[in-house]
Chains A and B, each alone.
Chain A
Amino acid sequence: MAANFWTSSHCKQLLDPEEVDVVHPLDKERGITLEDFKLIKLHMANYIAKLAQNVKVRQRVVATAITYMRRVFVRRPMTEYDPRLVASTCLYLASKAEESTVQARLLVFYIRKIYPDDKHKYEIKDILEMEMKILEALNYYLVVFHPYRALSQLLQDANMNDATQVTWGIVNDTYKMDLILVHPPHLIALACIYIASVLKDKENTAWFEELRVDMNVVKNIAMEILDFYDSQKMITDERMSAALIKVKPITPQ
């Protein structure tokens, strides 16, 4: 159902981390490691956010687009589904699904603006063809729930309105990981609030206990986010380029 997470396709499609961290056999052949795989998805998530700033759509569209992109690469090889084209097209499709349609020609214009010297020029036609492939890869499930929806209410309830901005930022950062494919969005929201309480030195134990959610899960998600922050510092441009070069399309389609 469209407004109830527990009966939604999103809920039914949640995956175990082991199912998400699988490099497609075709990608493996090209030497793509699990680390490369994660780096490329991180890069594409950042790219979607950048593109979205240019075409001026809201964060919810960005979040939906990144979720689509991550779902696509659970089943489709990056060596056949050019990640940059997939990422751009996911933003295109998400803008339609979230009722703030962006024209394909506008998108193409900004892709060229962001990457002026990219040898690989995308045409409108490439976006439109990829749109259909992505619909298939998503198995036509387009409704995505995000942690943002629960966030402001939870923050208010926890008497943490002053932490809205920092928490919102942490939620944005969770899309650099695959958390949205694995955990219910409200638990991700709680994990972000948990981190924010630690950062703000706010004692919230009682409030969390009253929620009747599995705090072990919330804490584990929080740990994952913190681990990610740590590891992100180590990512060099060279390392990222080395991963990206492996998925360069050999021949334009």
Chain B
Amino acid sequence: MGDGNSNASSSSRAGNSNNNGNNRPEWLQQYDLIGKIGEGTYGLVFLAKIKSNRSKSIAIKKFKQSKDGDGVSPTAIREIMLLREINHENVVKLVNVHINHADMSLYLAFDYAEHDLYEIIRHHRDKVNQPINQYTVKSLLWQLLNGLNYLHSNWIVHRDLKPSNILVMGEGDEHGVVKIADFGLARIYQSPLKPLSENGVVVTIWYRAPELLLGAKHYTSAVDMWAVGCIFAELLTLKPLFQGQEVKGTPNPFQFDQLDKIFKVLGHPTQEKWPTLVNLPHWHADVQQIQGRKYENAGLYSVVHLSPKNPAYDLLSKMLEYDPRKRITAAQALEHEYFRMEPLPGRNALVPPQPGEKFVNYPIRPVDTTTDFEGTISLQPSQPVSSGNAVSGGMAGPHVMPTRSVQRPIPMGMQRMQPQGMSAYNITSQAGMGGGMNPGGIPMQRGVAAQAHQQQQMRRKDPAGMTGYHPPQQKSRRF
């Protein structure tokens, strides 16, 4: 929004003449398609580079025309509607919207983020075999809360926070910066026309707040904070905190196993601690099942291996408060003692500011280079990818591994120099531009693409957004 009207280009002219020979709309010519990086019910996500600035990677989310003959999917409308209005360093930025009138498909272009919390957690659990370092956990959490605080203060509930929707920027001037993504379920909750719950069941079950599981109709930003608590615990232990078995195919949000998993760790909710509990439909619906078992001992600290006196534990338990009205808000959480003690959170969550401190090279996102924009497998010689390779020949390295085999991505980013990293923070954040030190490494391919992901940007920052970023303790760790 800070970029004004020129931000999303209206491609109507291109659209009207998009059948120029190869059936490829004009707007698409500005990108070199690298390959597919994700897939969801709505469509596909692609990685592309801007031809005029090949250091800039773009994630393009393609929405198929909905099958029910009802035009642009409401998910896409919601995402466009919200992302066109918001602008914050810790929220993905929509850089362009394109329409292909020929096949009625819609494309959202985001700046590309190399990592996400799902992959970072998985890398530690399956490859590194050690916990994520404290600085990184705290910085990721702080930035996630910072973005969420911005959304909530603008009356936007995300409703689908989970590790795979929390992106982290790869190398470049925004290295290690968190971006909240995927606003397909997000809502402005000021005077909704219909109760939010009428739009169907939302939020991946593991991160779903208890009031939703118990059938709350009018829920609030507190559902996002519950999800943040679950994500926080998962960053600490590398395991989903409440891994319930989802009962599929029911329009009913009641998921007994998920509730049971929560009760086992947090103890049974009581009307004393959560007075409005009795008003929730499912609390009565199945008295036997729900209220039958009694779990008393809250074992959260032992699950996350933290002393109850640890501020991290205190913050976590406040996020996992049963009563949504008592649950800590994003604004309150940012003020929590946990963020005021060493190690202090920083802007580059992946690389601790102290020189010499170890950091993990996270693998880059696998790219399936055999899928083109139409979602068809196997590229023809005229596809943008091949021309992209030709153009990029003289650059830092090959951008595409022309092989179909499944490989372990090898981190090959430039060695980061701490002083440079910090100066990049101070200078580029003001000046806004920045060439991007590394185009993002070498995309590898893998047979099955990960879940849908997207976005980012290295463009101008709203100055207000920047000042809003700084944690209060930023000064103390500038050098």
Checking A1, A92, A136 against B71 with a beta-carbon cut-off of 8 angstroms, the contacting residue is A92
Q: Is the CB of A3 within 8 A of B188?
A: yes
A137 at the interface (CB under 8 A from B): yes
Q: Which residues of A contact B193 (CB under 8 A)?
A: 58, 60-61, 98-100
Q: Is the CB of A143 within 8 A of B85?
A: yes
Q: Is the CB of B5 within 8 A of A132?
A: no
Complexed CA–CA distance, A210 and B155 (Å): 28
Q: Which residues of B contact A103 (CB under 8 A)?
A: 70
Q: Is the CB of A97 within 8 A of B69?
A: no
Segment among B6-14, B371-379, B386-394 that sits at the interface with chain A: B6-14
What string of 1s and 0s marks CB contacts (under 8 Å) between B171-203 and chain A? Answer: 000000000000000011011111000010000
Q: Is the CB of B71 within 8 A of A104?
A: yes
Q: Is the CB of A104 within 8 A of B85?
A: no
A1-37 residues at the B interface, CB under 8 angstroms: 1-4, 7-9, 12-13
A242 at the interface (CB under 8 A from B): no
A85-103 residues at the B interface, CB under 8 angstroms: 92-93, 96-101, 103
Complexed CA–CA distance, A136 and B194 (Å): 27
Most chain A CB neighbours (cut-off 10 Å) among B10, B187, B192: B10
Q: Which residues of A contact B74 (CB under 8 A)?
A: 96, 99, 101
Contacts A96-B74, A137-B10; A124 near B69 (Cβ below 8 A): yes
B72 at the interface (CB under 8 A from A): yes
Q: Which residues of B contact A7 (CB under 8 A)?
A: 1
Q: Which residues of A contact B99 (CB under 8 A)?
A: 132, 135-136
In whole Å, how far is A220's beta carbon from the nearest beta carbon of chain B?
A: 26
Complexed CA–CA distance, A61 and B155 (Å): 19
A105 at the interface (CB under 8 A from B): yes
A133 at the interface (CB under 8 A from B): yes
Checking B8, B10, B80, B191 against A149 with a beta-carbon cut-off of 8 angstroms, the contacting residue is B191
Q: Which residues of A contact B72 (CB under 8 A)?
A: 96, 131-132, 135
Q: Is the CB of B69 within 8 A of A8?
A: no
In whole Å, how far is A108's beta carbon from the nearest beta carbon of chain B?
A: 11
A143-200 residues at the B interface, CB under 8 angstroms: 143, 149
In whole Å, how far is B73's beta carbon from the nearest beta carbon of chain A?
A: 9
A140 at the interface (CB under 8 A from B): yes
In whole Å, how far is A64's beta carbon from the nearest beta carbon of chain B?
A: 11
A129 at the interface (CB under 8 A from B): yes
In whole Å, how far is B160's beta carbon from the nearest beta carbon of chain A?
A: 16
Q: Size class of B's contact patch?
A: 35 or more
Complexed CA–CA distance, A96 and B69 (Å): 14
Contacts A99-B194, A105-B69; A8 near B85 (Cβ below 8 A): yes
A142 at the interface (CB under 8 A from B): yes
Contacts A99-B187, A100-B193; A2 near B156 (Cβ below 8 A): yes
Complexed CA–CA distance, A2 and B183 (Å): 13
Complexed CA–CA distance, A137 and B9 (Å): 10
Contacts A131-B72, A142-B80; A3 near B190 (Cβ below 8 A): yes
Complexed CA–CA distance, A8 and B104 (Å): 28
A127 at the interface (CB under 8 A from B): yes
Q: Size class of A's contact patch?
A: 35 or more
Q: Is the CB of A97 within 8 A of B81?
A: yes
| A13 closest partner in B (C-beta) | B5
Complexed CA–CA distance, A58 and B192 (Å): 12
Contacts A1-B85, A103-B70, A143-B81; A128 near B191 (Cβ below 8 A): no
Q: Is the CB of A4 within 8 A of B84?
A: no
Q: Is the CB of B15 within 8 A of A136?
A: yes
B290 at the interface (CB under 8 A from A): no
Q: Is the CB of B84 within 8 A of A143?
A: yes
Q: Is the CB of B187 within 8 A of A9?
A: no
Q: Which residues of B contact A96 (CB under 8 A)?
A: 71-72, 74, 77
B106 at the interface (CB under 8 A from A): yes
Contacts A3-B154, A3-B190, A142-B80; A128 near B71 (Cβ below 8 A): yes
Complexed CA–CA distance, A12 and B155 (Å): 19
Most chain B CB neighbours (cut-off 10 Å) among A13, A104, A136: A136
What string of 1s and 0s marks CB contacts (under 8 Å) between B298-315 and chain A? Answer: 000000000000000000
Complexed CA–CA distance, A61 and B80 (Å): 18
A229 at the interface (CB under 8 A from B): no
Most chain B CB neighbours (cut-off 10 Å) among A9, A129, A132, A133: A132
Complexed CA–CA distance, A104 and B97 (Å): 23
A114-142 residues at the B interface, CB under 8 angstroms: 124, 127-129, 131-133, 135-137, 139-142
Q: Which residues of A contact B97 (CB under 8 A)?
A: 135, 140
B124 at the interface (CB under 8 A from A): no
Q: Which residues of B contact A12 (CB under 8 A)?
A: 1, 4-5
Checking B8, B11, B86 against A1 with a beta-carbon cut-off of 8 angstroms, the contacting residue is B86
| B108 closest partner in A (C-beta) | A140
Q: Is the CB of B101 within 8 A of A9?
A: no
B265 at the interface (CB under 8 A from A): no
What string of 1s and 0s marks CB contacts (under 8 Å) between A61-90 and chain B? Answer: 100000000000000000000000000000
In whole Å, how far is A138's beta carbon from the nearest beta carbon of chain B?
A: 9
Q: Which residues of A contact B449 (CB under 8 A)?
A: none
Contacts A104-B71, A105-B69; A136 near B155 (Cβ below 8 A): no
B106-132 residues at the A interface, CB under 8 angstroms: 106
Contacts A101-B74, A142-B80; A2 near B69 (Cβ below 8 A): no
Q: Which residues of A contact B191 (CB under 8 A)?
A: 149
Q: Is the CB of A136 within 8 A of B190?
A: no
Checking B5, B65, B154 against A4 with a beta-carbon cut-off of 8 angstroms, the contacting residue is B154
B82 at the interface (CB under 8 A from A): yes
Complexed CA–CA distance, A101 and B71 (Å): 11
Checking B70, B106, B154, B199 against A2 with a beta-carbon cut-off of 8 angstroms, the contacting residue is B154
Contacts A96-B74, A97-B77; A132 near B101 (Cβ below 8 A): yes
Most chain A CB neighbours (cut-off 10 Å) among B71, B155, B192: B71
What are 23 A-B contacts defined by CB distance under 8 Å? A1-B1, A2-B188, A3-B156, A9-B1, A12-B4, A13-B5, A96-B74, A99-B74, A100-B193, A104-B69, A104-B71, A124-B69, A127-B71, A128-B71, A131-B72, A132-B71, A132-B72, A132-B104, A133-B101, A135-B80, A142-B77, A142-B80, A143-B84
For the A-B complex with A132-B15, A133-B101 known, give 16 more contacts whose Cβ atoms are closer than 8 Å.
A1-B85, A2-B82, A2-B188, A3-B188, A96-B72, A99-B74, A99-B187, A101-B74, A127-B71, A128-B104, A129-B101, A132-B99, A132-B104, A133-B15, A135-B99, A139-B8
